[in-house]
Amino acid sequence: MSDVDVDLDDEVDEGNRLEGSVPRTVLEYLAKAIVDDPDSVVVEVQEGRTVSLRLNVSPDDMGRVIGRRGRTAQAIRTVVRAAAAREGMDVHVDIVD
């Protein structure tokens, strides 16, 4: 054992972060909070010119995620885009069957 104090924040290298990790985490958190079956929530990341996030939920929870007239889905997209903008990236959220 060493007596040296290590600050973990100093050890994190910005180059080692996964592209889209913050918006992905935000999307996963929001979706799991809304649905009845949080274990069925899967977020896939596709990198390209922009980061594309694909949200998969169980068919029974699809209505909860989309909401009336798509308002819930639009709110989720807005929050995830805000999280991505804070990280300096552009993100697109798709809700798939």
Is the model more confident about 15 or about 73? 73
- pLDDT tier, 50 (very low <50, low <70, confident <90, very high otherwise): confident
In a domain, 86, yes or no: yes
CATH number at residue 48: 3.30.300.20
Task: Specify the number of domains making up the chain.
Answer: 1
Question: Is pTM, for the whole model, over 0.75?
Answer: yes
H helix intervals, the chain: 8-11, 21-34, 62-66, 71-86
Residue 84: which domain range? Answer: 39-97
Tell me whether strands 91-96 and 51-56 are parallel, antiparallel or unpaired: parallel
pLDDT tens digit string along 14-45? 444 566 689 999 999 999 999 999 999 999 99
Q: What is the mean pLDDT of the chain?
A: 85
Structure tokens at 47: 């990198």
